[in-house]
Chains A and B, each alone.
Chain A
């Protein structure tokens, strides 16, 4: 594919259109992405279907961006639309309930309990090259409770700013911080439990 084609008006007729076959090949990745974000496989199917249809119809792709990056940008927007729609009809309110599981890691004075203290992970960088690590990460993400998961995934997976997330979900900023913090606490704990038990780097 010629990434250097420079023309804005498309008058010479060689505007690069997205290739249907190439987009179809991305479908599995798109589904996984959407499922992780929406936690609803039917909804994920719908969104991916819409994103692919939109990608095929769009004339915007002129070989400038990597196809995958471009298609995923469309998918992200579709997912944000779904989340926005959903937050207008919330199935459950975003209430900050205390989470004893997380609170219980600290003593009454707010310092770590000795056995809960985060440990030094041995060479975590190496584990990024390990397929097992990604399976573990996905499992830990799926274990997050719904609300912290949604906020965290919007931030770290969809790449939105916290301000945008609060607006989309119609929740206060302080509520957003709390949910984000809880997600990170849980994720860290989940990774540590497994990191420590099996040596991911061997």
Chain B
């Protein structure tokens, strides 16, 4: 898995349940990739921010 594929999968992971295989592959990639693990935290933050934004 490369970073491009990982970012696509992380986005989908916010909207659907990833398969076991997808989750495993993603987890492995995140372990070795700083950029993508930052990206993953940023997506989670964006989701939270949007939720608060709706409630404001």
Contacts and interface: CB of A to CB of B under 8 A. Distances in A.
Interface residues of A, number: 31
Nearest to A103: B4
29 contacts: A106-B2, A109-B2, A110-B4, A111-B4, A117-B34, A117-B35, A118-B39, A118-B42, A119-B38, A121-B38, A121-B42, A121-B45, A124-B45, A128-B48, A133-B49, A134-B56, A137-B53, A156-B50, A156-B51, A159-B54, A161-B15, A177-B11, A177-B12, A180-B11, A180-B12, A184-B14, A185-B11, A188-B39, A188-B42
Given A157-B54, A192-B42, A181 B5 contact: no
B27 interface: no
A110 B11 contact: no
Contacts of A106: 2-4
Interface of A: 106, 109-112, 117-121, 124-125, 128, 133-134, 137, 155-157, 159, 161-162, 177, 180-181, 184-185, 187-188, 191-192
A162 B15 contact: yes
B23 interface: no
A134 B11 contact: no
B2 A111 contact: yes
Main secondary structure of the interface of B (DSSP, over half): helix
B38 to A, nearest CB: 4
Nearest to A158: B54
B39 A177 contact: no
Interface string B29-51: 00001111011011101111111
Given A155-B15, A192-B42, A111 B3 contact: yes
- Nearest 7 Cβ contacts at the A-B interface: A110-B2, A117-B35, A156-B50, A181-B11, A110-B4, A118-B38, A118-B39
A164 to B, nearest CB: 11
A120 B38 contact: yes
